[in-house]
A and B are shown apart, each in its own frame.
Chain A
């Protein structure tokens, strides 16, 4: 790994400590470093490009890091990663992707992640997406996430894309069994003429299953964002989708939520807000001595924290 790799790694995956942790570092379409341990095994897929991450049942405080670095302009990388989480485990997964593109050709990464989370397990999934570089070449990230939550299992997913990604289409699908829980916190900020689209498709099939999807986004300059979600309640369940967008300059945001209840005891809520930074918030921070610009930054940083 060179200094550039380390720099990007730090931005997307700050806590990577290699001491005994299970990890896989992928750079420019290849796995360059890998480690498995007693509880967590990482192996290459035989039929296609990608890895299987196998977590033994009853693994407590397991950590997995699977950062992806793209530094080669013009590279189009596609990878299939499957997570098999055994019963009654507690696991944190850190997956980030950083693209550095200084040239004029487009670089892209397309990660297809599938989660099979067995009964009673808790998984925290953290994903940071980041792009940088002066070139005209686009930096494209199109992740697909598919989640299968077993009985009483929980997935908490924190995703953030704050800077430098020219275009993203993010698809997340989840199917929930009895008593399982899905919590998603998404943060997106777009600049220039970037575009970002997120699509959530959640099926609450299990009794007492619940999903809470929170999306906070800031669209600035000429960027465009789309938020699409569909939550279906097929049992006694609870679903709450909240998407909150701040727009600036000439940015555009489309929010397209759907909730479908197909069971008498399904309770589904959707809240969507789009608007510029509230004038009173700016005024309040200015009365504390912040310039208008600093006040704006403070409000946005807090919102996306």
Chain B
């Protein structure tokens, strides 16, 4: 389990995160909040891509604040980027193989692509470069993170750029993740369908955690979400 203790992050004299304290103890936590509120920054601090100005990151009680990115990855933390990174020369199969620690073969890599709604045959040997569309890149990113089977998996706006049909597949992947024991999923999302399957919802605003159910109910129009006391319709 990840715990953030008094995390603050400042850059250019601007406070991006202000004394954040969160325990990610639920199986499926969704972080939401307006653009620029610090969600991606928070995720990158957990992954070690950004070092906090102050505060601690704990992982199963251990202080990992000074651990490198790869050390965190090897100890079971994964991160799916909001904007997937492109490579010249690396193929989709290369990425999935690396991501699964060389455990996935060609056929299982194809299966996982189908899961995110991509026709495996067409994509598996494509290079991860500008020739892929935004939505394709995003789905490949999600698939490659999904195969890691990590203890903690963070998805940064997985729904961004994904069409409605594929989004349905995505929801079923996330539902599957939610049911997994000993794996914790943290999703940054603005999507009501994703928020509605959360065990816990955290709202970030101006770099602070906002504990406000009305915000969710009104701003995000989540009246139908049973977890938040709205109407049950599932």
Contact = CB atoms under 8 A, between A and B. Distances in A.
A303 B90 CA distance: 7
Prevailing SS type, chain A contact patch: helix
Contacts of A289: 70, 73-74, 101
B123 interface: no
Contacts of A292: 70
Contacts of A305: 89
Interface stretch (A72-80, A148-156, A277-285): A277-285
A287 B98 contact: no
Nearest to B75: A289
Interface string A202-216: 000000000000001
A275 to B, nearest CB: 12
- Residue picked from B98, B101, B148, most chain A C-beta under 10 Å: B98
B73 A288 contact: yes
Contacts of A216: 88-89
Interface in A252-288: 278, 280-281, 283-288
A281 B98 contact: no
B81 interface: yes
B41 to A, nearest CB: 14
Contacts of B70: 286-287, 289-292, 295
Contacts of B47: 287
Interface in B26-60: 47, 49
B74 A284 contact: no
Contact of A286 (B68, B81, B94): B68
B88 A287 contact: no
B70 to A, nearest CB: 4
Contacts of B68: 286
Interface string B57-84: 0000000000011100110001101000
Interface of A: 216, 244, 278, 280-281, 283-292, 295, 298-299, 301-305
B87 A287 contact: no
Contact of B98 (A278, A285, A291): A285
B74 A299 contact: no
B40 to A, nearest CB: 13
Query: Interface size class for chain B?
Result: 20 to 34
Q: Which 3 interchain pairs have the tightest Cβ spacing?
A: A302-B89, A289-B73, A284-B85
29 contacts: A216-B88, A216-B89, A244-B88, A280-B85, A281-B85, A283-B69, A283-B85, A284-B81, A284-B85, A286-B70, A287-B73, A288-B73, A288-B98, A288-B99, A288-B144, A288-B148, A289-B70, A289-B73, A289-B74, A292-B70, A295-B70, A298-B90, A299-B89, A301-B89, A302-B87, A302-B89, A303-B88, A303-B89, A305-B89
B183 to A, nearest CB: 17
A302 B88 contact: yes
Contacts of B85: 278, 280-281, 283-284
Contacts of B79: 287
A289 B74 CA distance: 5
B74 A287 contact: no
B36 to A, nearest CB: 20
A278 B68 CA distance: 18
B73 A304 contact: no
B79 to A, nearest CB: 5
A290 B88 contact: no
A298 B98 contact: yes
A235 to B, nearest CB: 29
A281 B68 CA distance: 16
Contacts of A302: 87-90, 94
A274 B88 CA distance: 13
Contacts of B144: 288
A303 B127 CA distance: 10
Contact of B73 (A244, A286, A299): A286
